[in-house]
Structure 1
Amino acid sequence: MIAGLSRLAAGAALCICCQWATAEAQTTLAPDELRAAATVALRGSDAPTARAYAEALVARDPDDLNAHLILARAARDMGDIPPAREAARAAWHLADTDAERYSAALITAQVLSSDGKRTRAQLWLRRAAQYAPNDLLRERAKRDFRYVRMRNPWQTDLTFTFAPNSNINNGSARDRSRLNYVISELLFGEPIEFDLDDAAQAISGIEIGGSMRTRYRFHQTPDTAHDAKLSLSYRTFQITDDLADDSITGSDFAFGALAAGYGYRRLNLERKGEFAFDVEGGQTWYSGSRYASYLRGQAQQSWQVSPSQKFRFGGELERQWGQATPDLDTVELSASVTQGFASGNSGYLGIFAKATTSPDPTSEYTEVTLRTGLALSKPIFGASVQFGLGASWRDYDISRDSPDGRQDNRIFADVTATFTQIDYYGFNPSVTLSASSTDSNIGLYDVNRVGLNIGIRSSF
C-alpha cells in the first residue's frame, strides 16, 4: 500500500510540474522527456523551472544521478546553496563511471566556489581533472581551476622533501685543517694542522622534511594587491654513514623556520611590468634550539619586454639577531633575464651581489653569484627537463684560520625531470639531481655535496 501511494505521489508530482510549465496544453511527460525539458530550461537560464522539474525527478527516483546534477546547478544559479550542496553530494555518491564522477566533481566545485569556499573548490576541480573522460573536458577543469585560483584570496603551497644527500651537515670534504693561525704562531711559530672530528666532516644521510607557505589577499584592485603571509618549514635527517662517534644523530642537524609578513603588488609600465614589495619577520631553530631571529625586506621590479623576454631587478635588506650565530646585516642586489627561443626552449641568466656586516668581523663577507638555466620544450623519455648551472665567489677579509682572510669558490649544477605523463589529481612526480663543490683556501671549508630530491609538482 505504501509503495503504491509513493508511486502515485511521484506520478502526480510529474504531472503537476508538467501542467505548471505548459499551461496551454496539459501533457504528462515521461521521465526522459522531463529530464530533457529540465536541461533545456537550465541552458535557457530558467533555473526555477529546471529546479522544479529536477525536484520532481528526484522525488520519483532518489537515485537519478542526472536529476541531482540538474538540481544542484539550478539551485546554485538561484543562490540557494544548501540544497545545491546536498544535490551535488548525492550526485557524487551515485556516480559510477569516470564521466559521471567528472560531472559530479565539476558541479560540486561550482557550488563551493559560489559559496565562497574556493580552496575546497580547487580540490574538487583537481578531482574533476583526474576523472575527465577526454582531454577536452580535462582542459576545461584546468581552465576553471586557474579561474578559481585567481579569485581565491587564499593561496597555499605545500612542499615535501625526501632527499638522499652526501653532506647533510655542510661538513668539510677533508679530514684535516689548519689550526687558528694566531694560536699556531703564538704557540708553535708555524701553521699547525689537526684532524677534523666526525661532526666537522661531511656526513651522508637522508633529508626528510616539508614546508608550507600561505597567503591571504585581503585587498585587491585591478592594479594592486595586498597580502598577509605565513610560512613554516622543518627538515630533519637520517644518517646513513658509519660513524665512529655514535652520539651524533640526524636530529643534531635539524632546521626549522617560522615567518609571517606582508606583500604588495602593483602592475605598472602599461601593465607590462610589476612592482613587488615584501617584508617578513621570522625565527629559525637549529638542533632543537633557537638559532636566529630576522627581519627582511625586499623589492623587485619585473618588465615583460616582449612575449619571449622578461627582465627582473631587485634588492633585499636583512637584519639577523643571532642566538646561536653572530648578528648579521645583509644587503643584496640582483638582476636577471628570462628568454624564450624559437625552438620553444627557454633560458635564464641572473647575477646576484651580496655584502654583509657584523659585530663579529670574521662573519663579514662579500659574494657574487651567477646562475643560468635552460628549460627544454620537448620531453626526454616522457619527462620535462630543466638544467641549472652556477658559480659563486665569496671573500672574507678576516679569518681566524688565515692571515690572508678566507676565499670560497663554489660551483653548482642541477637537473630536474618532471614526469608529466604520470598525473594524479593534477600533480606530477619530479626528481632533482644536484651537485656542488666549494674550493676554499682553508681546508675546513672545502665542501662537496651530491643530492637527489624526490618531490611532486602541480601540473596546472
Structure 2
Amino acid sequence: MRLVAHLMRALRPAILAGGMALMSAPAGAEAVRMSVDEARGAAARALMAGQAELALVLAEGVLLGAPGDTDALMMKSRALSQLGRSAEAAEAARLVFGGTNDERERFFSAMLMAQARASGGRPGVAQLWLRRAAQMAPDDQLKAVAVRDFRQLRRLTPWRLSLDLSVEPSDNLNGAPRTNRFTFAGLPFVNPSAVPLSGERYVLGADYVRRVPLSETRRLNLGLSTEFQRVRFSQEARDKVPGIKDADYRQDALALSLGYEARGQDGSWLGKSQLSVTRHWLGGQLFADAARLDLSYGQTIAPGLIGALRYGYEVEERHDAAVRDAQTRELGLTLTRAYGRSTLGLDLLVSDTASDSRLVARESARAALSYRLGKPVKGVLPRLTLAWEVTDFDMGPTTFWIEPRRDEELTVSLDLLLPNYDLYGFAPEIGVSFRDRSSNYTIYETRGTDLRLGLKSVF
C-alpha cells in the first residue's frame, strides 16, 4: 500500500518516556537503549528499509513505554502484515481506528486494515476498507491514494461483484399503446385495460464473476447473475384499471455463464466468447429459458479510436406458449472515439428472429449515438444517447390483419452522474429517457417517459 511515507508525515510528538532495552547486544557488550521518540523513528526507518521483524520489535518497545501510542500501533500493524500475521495486523489497526478521533489517523488505520485483510486473503473486505478510507480522507491527495490502491486491488482480485439498485418512476409501466381504440371491419372497438399506467419500478441486480487466469493474456470467466424487478402502480393507475395487481408485473431472472478472454501483449486487441443460460419468471410463473452464445473482437484502429465487432446467437424456449419459441441472430459494430477524457460512441446492430409466431418473427436494425463528457460540468457528468430502431415483422399480427407489421422507435436518454456527492465511492445517478414507437397498426404505437434514480461506483 506504500503507506510508510504517509505514516512518517502523520507522526505526532509524544510524551517522552524512560529509556528501555529493545535489543540485546552480543555477550559482554552493553544493552542498546533509546528513548520512545528514538525507538519510534527507528521503527519507521526499519519499515522503510523492509526490515519488518526489527520494526515490530521496535514498535512493541515503544508500546511498552507508551501504551496505546497511535504511531507505534500503526507501524506494528504494517510490520505484522509484511510478516504474514494478518489477523494480528488487523487487530492493531482496529485499535487505532476505534481509539482516535483524528481524521488523518483514522484514514491511515483504515488503509492498514485494508492491507491486513488483503494480505490475509480477504480482498473483498479489503476493498470495503479502502472505500471507507476514501470516504474519510482528510484531503483530495490522500483520497486519491485510497482510490489508486482500491483500483489496483480490484485488478488483482480474482472475482468481482457488481450490484445494481435503482428506482424508476414511469408514466407507462405496462407499455400500453397511445390509444386503446381500433377499428376492425369498419367497426370501432375499445380495450379498457390497454391504457398507460403510471407508477414506479424497483430493480435489484447482482453480477458475480470469478476470473481464472490461464496465462498473462488469457483467462476464463465464470459468472452468476440475477435480477429482480418489482412495480408499484399509482392510485391513478388503480382507478383506471380496477383490480390490477403489482405482482402480475414482477420479473425475475437468473443466469449462469462461462466466458473466455484473450488479449494482445500490448493491449491493442481483445477477443471474447461467452456461453450463457438464463431462466426468466414473469408474475411469479416460469416464463422462458434461453441459451446464448456471444462472440466479440475489439481492436485499436487508430490512436483514440477503438472498433469492436460482435455476434450473438440465442435460442429461447417459451413456457407460456410453445409457438413463441424463437432463435435470434445478431451482428453488431461499435466505434468509440476518445476526445481527451470524453468519448463519442456509435453502435450499430442488426438482428433476425425466427419463430412460428407471427408476433415474434421479425428483423430489426438499430443505430445509437452516445456522447459522454469526461469532466464534470458544475458537478455533473452527463451522458446523452440517441437511438433509432426499425422492426419489420414477417407477418401481420393476426390472420385478419395480414399486412406485415412495421415499427419505428425513437429513444432519447440523458444520464447525469453526480460524482461530488459520492458516499463510499458510490455516487447518485439520475437518468431520464423518452421513447416513441410508431407503427402501421395503432394498437402497437406507444410513448412513455421513464425516470431512473440509481447508484454508480465512481472508482
With normalisation by structure 2, the TM-score equals: 0.91
Counterpart of 1:364?
Answer: 361
Q: Which amino acid aligns with 1:118?
A: P
Inter-partner Cα distance in structure 1 for 2:415 and 2:71: 44
Q: After TM superposition, give the deviation of residue 84 of structure 1 in Å.
A: 1.4
Greater displacement, 64-73 / 54-63: 54-63
Measure how far apart 1:24 and its partner are.
Answer: 6.1
Cα distance change on mapping 1:124 and 1:334 into 2, 3 Å? same
Kindly report which structure 2 residues correspond to 1:227-376, keeping only aligned pairs within 5 A, or say none.
Answer: 227-240=221-234, 241-268=237-264, 270-325=266-321, 326-341=324-339, 345-376=342-373
Output the CA distance in 2 between the equivalents of 1:113 and 1:86: 14
1:126-184 Cα offsets, whole Å, 9 max, x none, are 111112122221111111111110110110110101111111111111121345xxxxx
Equivalent residue of 1:451, what SS? strand
The 5 Å alignment of 1:17-36 reads: 17-19=22-24, 26-36=31-41
Percent of paired sites with the same residue: 24
Post-superposition shift, 1:286? 0.6
Matches within 5 A, 1:4-19: 15-19=20-24
Q: CA deviation at 1:63?
A: 2.0
Aligned to 1:183: none
Segment of structure 1 superposing worse, 138-147 or 311-320: 138-147
Specify the SS of the correspondent of 1:363.
Answer: coil
2:49 matched to which residue of 1? 44
User: Over residues 415-434 of structure 1, what are the superposed CA-to-partner deviations in whole Å (9 max), with x where a residue is unaligned?
Assistant: 11111211211111110011
1:195 corresponds to which of 186, 190, 193 = 190
Contact in 2 for aligned 1:95/1:104 (Cα 8 Å): no
Distance 1:22 1:373 in 2: 76
How far apart in 2 are the matches of 1:206 and 1:177?
A: 28
Aligned residue type for 1:352: L
Q: Deviations over 1:53-105 (max 9, x none)?
A: 11223344442222111111111111222221221222221231221111011
1:123 aligns with 2:128: yes
- 4+ residue runs over 4 A deviation: 11-14, 18-25
Structure 2 counterpart of 1:152 = 157
Distance 1:90 1:217 in 2: 35
State the distance in 2 between where 1:378 and 1:219 align.
34
Contact 2:385 2:414 in 1 (8 A): yes
Aligned length: 438
RMSD between aligned residues: 2.1
Instruction: Supply the distance in 2 between the matched residues of 1:285 and 1:23 (Cα, whole angstroms).
Output: 82
Deviations 1:327-382 (A, max 9, x none): 1110000001001236x532111110010011224310000000000112343321
What's 1:101 paired with? 106
Match of 2:445?
446
Aligned to 2:68: 63
1:182 is matched with: none
226-235 or 114-123, which deviates more: 114-123
1:399 aligns with 2:396: yes
CA contact (8 A) 2:238 2:244 kept: no
Query: 1:22: how far off?
Result: 12
Q: Distance in 1 between matches of 2:83 and 2:266?
A: 39
Alpha-carbon distance, 1:12 to partner: 12
**Does the C-alpha gap of structure 1 residues 115 and 416 become closer, same or farther in structure 2, counting only changes over 3 Å?**
same
Distance 2:332 2:359 in 1: 25
SS of the residue 1:400 aligns to? coil
1:384 equivalenced with 2:378 (yes/no)? no
Q: In the alignment, residue 416 of structure 1 is paired with which amino acid? A: D
Is 1:225 the counterpart of 2:219? The answer is yes
Q: Give 5+ residue unaligned stretches, structure 1.
A: 1-10, 180-189
Separation (CA, whole Å) in 2 of partners of 1:375 and 1:43: 43
* Equivalent-residue separation in structure 1 for 2:29 and 2:344 (angstroms): 69
Q: Tell me, in whole angstroms, the C-alpha distance in 2 between the residues paired with 1:196 and 1:25.
A: 100
Corresponding letter in the other structure for 1:73: R
Which has the larger displacement, 352-361 or 386-395?
352-361
